[in-house]
């Protein structure tokens, strides 16, 4: 579809910049929630690219803030790909396995927004000594 005005082009640019920022990595602010998606070969083969994009799209659609989506390498759970680690400041990191598109929205709604861990998908609760 052709762009018909400068304003339309600016809106498209802003939307893409917003999505790129969701995928940025690096140091996070104290209150930033991190969603790490395993994007090694096994994860990609199992559908992690779709999972990553689903997180980005839903975070944007729901206008959630202070959430960073980061693609990472192998998490060591190839048998349970796609894998996702959720890091909420002040809480124990949780690694979910077998995350498909429908589970992405449940993770956002139940775990991130309501604080309920999805026991059916938990691979491991990790301990971060920096907490």
Pairwise CA distance, residues 56 & 49, whole Å = 11
Residue ranges covered by each domain of the chain: 29-125
pLDDT tens track of the chain, all 131 residues? 677 888 888 888 887 776 666 555 444 445 799 999 999 999 999 999 999 999 999 999 999 988 999 999 999 999 999 999 999 998 999 999 999 988 999 999 999 999 999 999 998 765 544 43
Q: Using omega within 30 degrees of 0 as the cis cutoff, is the peptide bond preceding 80 cis?
A: no
CATH topology of domain 29-125: Glutaredoxin (3.40.30)
- Show the tokens assigned to 34: 């991190």
* CA gap 121, 118 in Å, rounded: 6
Distance between CA atoms of residues 100 and 71, nearest Å: 16
pTM of the model: 0.74
Nearest to 78 by CA among 54, 48, 105: 48
Residue 95 has phi, psi (to 5 degrees) of: -110, 125
């Amino acid at each position: 579809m052709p762009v018909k005005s400068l304003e339309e082009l600016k809106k498209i640019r802003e939307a893409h910049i917003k999505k790129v920022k969701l995928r940025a990595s690096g140091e996070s602010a104290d209150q930033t929630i991190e969603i790490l998606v395993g994007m090694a070969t096994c994860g990609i083969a199992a559908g992690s690219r779709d999972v990553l994009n689903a997180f980005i799209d839903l975070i944007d659609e729901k206008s959630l803030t202070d959430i960073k989506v980061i693609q990472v390498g192998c998490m060591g759970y190839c048998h349970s790909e796609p894998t996702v680690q959720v890091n909420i400041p002040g809480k124990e990191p949780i690694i979910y396995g077998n995350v498909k598109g429908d589970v992405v929205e449940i993770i956002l709604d139940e775990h991130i927004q309501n604080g309920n861990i999805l026991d059916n998908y938990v691979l491991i609760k990790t301990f971060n000594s920096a907490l």
